[in-house]
């Protein structure tokens, strides 16, 4: 029986971590989409949040996240304004990832809880957002911004898909985040390698 309880606690903790990481990564695509999904899931009772995060599962918070979500989505379809929005949404994404992870973390010392939330949640959101910023800048540089609306649509779909996957099948969502970040980092590495200056070979004697 003790072994069964131990395994259950481990699985429960793993699910909470995967849920937090998935929502944090989604915040790197769109800040308010995962907050809206988390708030909606908490309002209907699908996700149980700690008492100090009860404000997330209130109707006013749900409405506020919905309005902010619509404004953010619309802003990314305005030419060149999307780059200005990135400067604001980058620290906001890190903050959102941190708050989401803290609200879903198992009960622990507050200092450990918020340190873990900043490192895991804020770090995941920051990496995702940083990669998206670089890809958007590359899109603007290569196409003059013509493909940015397509890129923005991809970000929106990724944010919504990851958020919904996180609250329904968190283990799958966590694996998806790992795969997405691995692919994105590899693509970024290849992209940066193209722009590195080639060292000329020394002349033959």
pLDDT at 22: 92
- Both structure tokens of 10: 């481990």
Average pLDDT, the chain: 85
pLDDT at 137: 86
CA distances from 130 to 7, 67, 98, 140, 180 (A): 36, 24, 16, 15, 14
pLDDT at 90: 92
pLDDT tens profile 94-137:
999 999 999 887 777 788 888 889 998 999 999 899 888 888 88
The closest of 144, 163, 65, 130 to 73, measured between CA atoms, is: 65
Sign of the torsion formed by the C-alpha atoms of 46, 124, 64 and 173? negative
pLDDT band at 16, cuts 50/70/90? Answer: confident
pLDDT tens profile 130-156:
888 888 888 888 888 888 899 999 999
Q: How many CA atoms lie within 13 A of 83 on its CB side?
A: 13
Residue 6 pLDDT greater than 70, yes or no: no
How large is the average pLDDT for residues 46-59?
A: 88
Lowest-confidence pick of 41-45, 129-133, 179-183: 179-183
pLDDT at 8: 42
pLDDT tens profile 151-160:
999 999 999 9
Residue 189 pLDDT greater than 50, yes or no: yes
pLDDT at 184: 75
Domain borders along the chain are 2-191
How large is the average pLDDT for residues 50-68?
A: 92
Any idea what DSSP says for residue 201? Answer: P
């Amino acid at each position: 029986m003790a072994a069964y309880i131990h395994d259950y606690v481990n699985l429960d903790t793993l699910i909470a971590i995967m849920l937090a990481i998935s929502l944090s990564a989604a915040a790197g695509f769109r800040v308010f989409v995962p907050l809206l999904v988390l708030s909606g899931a908490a309002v209907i009772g699908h996700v149980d949040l700690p008492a100090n995060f009860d404000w997330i599962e209130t109707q006013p918070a749900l409405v506020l996240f919905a309005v902010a979500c619509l404004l953010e989505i619309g802003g990314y379809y305005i030419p060149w304004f999307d780059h200005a929005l990135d400067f604001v949404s980058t620290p906001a994404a890190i903050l959102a990832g941190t708050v989401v992870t803290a609200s879903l973390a198992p009960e622990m010392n507050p200092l450990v809880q918020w340190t873990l939330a900043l490192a895991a949640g804020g770090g995941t959101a920051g990496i995702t957002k940083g990669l998206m910023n670089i890809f958007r800048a590359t899109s603007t540089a290569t196409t003059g911004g013509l493909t940015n609306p397509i890129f923005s649509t991809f970000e929106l779909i990724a944010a919504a898909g990851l958020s919904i996957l996180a609250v329904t099948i968190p283990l799958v969502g966590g694996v998806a985040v790992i795969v997405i970040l691995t692919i994105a980092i590899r693509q970024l590495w290849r992209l940066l390698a193209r722009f590195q200056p080639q060292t000329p070979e020394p002349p033959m004697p």
